Structures are given as C-alpha cells and as structure tokens.
Chains A and B, each alone.
Chain A
Amino acid sequence: MTCGEFEARLGAFIDGELGPAEEREMRAHLESCPSCNAAHERQLALRSALRKHLVPLAAPETLRAGIGRAVRVAGRAPGSRIRTTPVQRWAAIAALLVAAMGGTWKVATNQANGQRLSDEILTSHVRSLMGDHFSDVVSTDQHTVKPWFNGKLDYSPPVYDFAGRGFPLMGGRLDYLAGRSVAVLGYARRKHLINVYLWPTGHGPDAGPGSASRQGYHLLHWNQPDYTYWVVSDLGIVELKEFAGLLRGADSAAAIP
C-alpha cells in the first residue's frame, strides 16, 4: 500500500468502514510508515476533540410543547375544507380545544368570554397552519384580497400590505368566531405566519394592544374605532408588536386605500 492509498482510506479506516482485508493492509502500512502513523494520530486526536465538543443537544421545552400541540391538532383537525354548518364548526372547534389543551391549560366552563375567545382564536390559528387553511384567497395584493370578502361578510374589512416593512400580505380567508363570520388576513414574517382577525365592534378605540402568550404563541388584541382586532403568531413579541403598530397606524390613518 502506498502512502497515497493510505491517505485516501484513512477516514474510512478510522470510521470502521473498511473491509477486513483492507483494514489489515492499513495496519501493516501504519507500522511501517512514521509519517502516515502521525497522520493517523492527528485524525484520531481531531475526532476526539470533535466528539468532546460537538455534543448532542436537548430540544428546548417550548419547541417540544409546540410540536406536541401541533401534532395533536393535526391528528384531530379536519384536513380538507368541507363546507360545514355553524353547529358542526362549533363542535369541531370544541373538540379541537379539548385536544389542543391536552391538560395543559384547561378550559373551565365558567371562563370569561375574552378567555374563551382567545382560545378560539389560538385554535383557529394553529389549525390554519396545518393543511391549507391559511388562505382562501391567496394574494399579496390588497386590491385582490379586499374585494374577495365582498358578499361573504356583512362588512368590508380594511386590507393593507406591509411588504415594504417586512410583513407581506399572504391572503385572506373566512372563519367563524364569537358567533359570527369574521375576516382573517394572513401575513408573513420570514418563516413565521401571522393571522389577523377583525370584525366590527361597538367598543370604540382603546389604549393599545393587550397581549397574552400561550405555549410559544403570542396574541395581541385591541379595538380601533370601527373594528376589533386579534393578532396571533409564533413570531417574537417585539416584532409582533411592531406589526400591530403598523396595522393600527394604517387603520387610524384610513387615508390609504
């Protein structure tokens, strides 16, 4: 065996990937060649350093919880978009809620309406990420998305694209929440998806977004003069608030088409 042949097989030799015959030849060469012997020593030393420092890691708890939840939801969620009656939807949502909680955050029957609503919204968000529920109208053009809602809702929701600010509009869909059909707008931030739920309200504007975090998801909620807003995403809270600021600003200005 030449030194060149030895060098070419050195890695496989160290990894135990050579056949018995080749291994014997390698050992024989090792004993007769000091420079190849040194090369072998260096590779062994390198491997020991790599194995010492490149340790297996443990998945963070938030990741584990998020995946567990998403997987359970996937197991129960109706995957295809079937036209359902409100009663069926409520039943599905209730079933999903029970599934999604998994004993982690229990829904008490006497929970406040706000809490129940945020549960509904979170469940709707998680469902939208499974399967193709995210958008019924897929478009990054606000002038396509806004008219799509015509005739589907008893209101025409304001739709803005914030692609210029790093939050491109992805599309829109309908969902059934709080006992009514509501508009849902989808936005993206890198790999994160954001759902915006909005419907008319009589509350009037309030001071600013209230926020809640559940198992890796953040929810923001506020009231504009005409609409109540819910925003939910797994995006970091700082960026999500920045996004909420854009929405509030755009809607308040209302001058933008």
Chain B
Amino acid sequence: MVEIEVRPRDRVITRGRMPSPDIPARMRGVVEPTQLARFEAVILPHLDAAYTLARYLLRHDEDAQDATHDAVLRALRHFGGFRGEDARAWLLTVVRNTCHSWQRRSRAHEQEVAFDEEVHSETGAEEHPEAALLRTADREAVSRALDALPAEFREVIVLREVQGLSYREIARMTEVPIGTVMSRLSRARRYLERTVGRR
C-alpha cells in the first residue's frame, strides 16, 4: 500500500466539505481540455473501485450508480485541488463523501442502537464460533452480516477488506483519528465474527 504524505493542501479534499451538486456558483467555468485529458487518464481508470465502494456502502445498485456518477462529476469540478497524490484514494474519498451525504439523508442512523445492544449482550466468551465455521461461511451469510452493520462500521470494513486501504488512508478519508479506525474495525470484526459464525 502506498503511503500518502499528509500535506495541509490535501485537507481541502479530505475534509469532505464539498459543495453538493446543486450548489451553482463554483460549478461554472470551463474544464480545460488538458485538464480534462488528465482527468480521463488519471481518475477514470479507478471507476470500478469507485462503483465498488458506492455499491457496498449504499447496498443498492441504482443508488450506487447514481452516487458514482455524481461523485465523478464532483471530482471533475474539484480536480484543480488534486495534487498528484494517490488518484484512487482521492477519488474514493469523493465517492465516500457523496455516499455519506446520501446516507445522512436516509435512515442510516436507526440501526445504531440495535447494533450496540447486540454487541453488548453477546460478549460471552464461550459463544465464539469455530474458526473453520467462519472460514467456510457462504456469501449469503457474509453479506447479511455486513448489511446489518451501521454505516460507519460497514465503511471501515469495506475500505479495509475490499479496497485494501491502510489505517492511515482510512483515517484521512473518514476524518477520524487512527485510533478510532482501529477500534471501529475491531468492533465491526467482533460483531461479524459472531454473526457470520452463527448458523
């Protein structure tokens, strides 16, 4: 995994304060042909990764396609802020922020309470499933367990296990300290372990 040096300038992008596509003023202005060519060469090759992230975060194919479309256009508008760092991580940040604002508008928060209760009520040490059972879990069981996670926990799992990002990259992308990434990952995994292992 390529480590990215955090520079103050990069924060403009990673802060996630991008204007929504509906905000007009900044969206004017022609994209220069040279910039467009660069965008097509550097950013568009990561379209599969972008769609994958949106699909796993939003869990709905049409929404994921719409969000990806939105995010790429948003990325194009803010391409001036791209300083040649890891293009994939940069695009994924935009996708993540786009999905995030979608989720905020829907009912992503409702699950959290249920999740907390479940984690706390099932901390019995004896209930651990066999490793072999986990290893052979089927797709259905894995995706059901993942779907049951609240957004911010599902997000770290997807960024880590599907996109293979480092803790540092995940921390920058989700705007939380590395310690939080670590604890979210480990809570999410403990939960997945119990859920996937339950047959």
**Which residues of A come within 8 Å of B, CB atoms?**
8, 10-12, 15, 17, 35, 38-39, 41-51, 53-60, 62-64, 66-68, 70-72, 74-81, 130-132, 191-192
Least CB distance from A239 to B in Å reads 11
Contacts of B32 in A (CB 8 A): 75
List the 6 closest pairs (A to B, CB-CB), nearest first: A132-B24, A75-B36, A59-B51, A45-B134, A45-B131, A45-B135
Contacts of A74 in B (CB 8 A): 31, 36, 73, 76-77
Least CB distance from B132 to A in Å reads 7
A11-B182, A59-B50, A71-B76 known; A54+B161 contact, CB < 8 A: yes
Beyond A56-B162, A68-B44, 18 additional pairs, beta carbon < 8 A: A17-B182, A49-B136, A50-B146, A54-B158, A56-B48, A59-B50, A67-B44, A67-B68, A67-B72, A67-B73, A71-B40, A74-B76, A74-B77, A131-B27, A131-B28, A132-B27, A191-B66, A191-B70
Query: B87 in the interface, Cβ–Cβ < 8 Å?
Result: no
Q: 13 interchain pairs (CB within 8 A)?
A: A11-B182, A15-B167, A45-B133, A47-B161, A48-B135, A53-B143, A54-B146, A59-B51, A60-B51, A71-B72, A74-B31, A130-B73, A191-B66
Least CB distance from A133 to B in Å reads 9
Query: B18 in the interface, Cβ–Cβ < 8 Å?
Result: no
A53-B142, A63-B68, A79-B29 known; A42+B134 contact, CB < 8 A: yes
Complex-state Cα separation, A195 to B91, whole angstroms: 29
| A-contacting 9-mer, from B7-15, B113-121, B189-197 | B189-197
Q: How many residues of B contact A (CB 8 A)?
A: 62
Tell me which of B30, B47, B139, B166 contacts A64 (CB under 8 A).
B47
Least CB distance from B50 to A in Å reads 7
Query: B128 in the interface, Cβ–Cβ < 8 Å?
Result: yes
Complex-state Cα separation, A17 to B128, whole angstroms: 25
Asked if A53 contacts B55 (CB within 8 A), the reply is no
Q: What is the chain B residue whose CB lies nearest that of A78?
A: B30
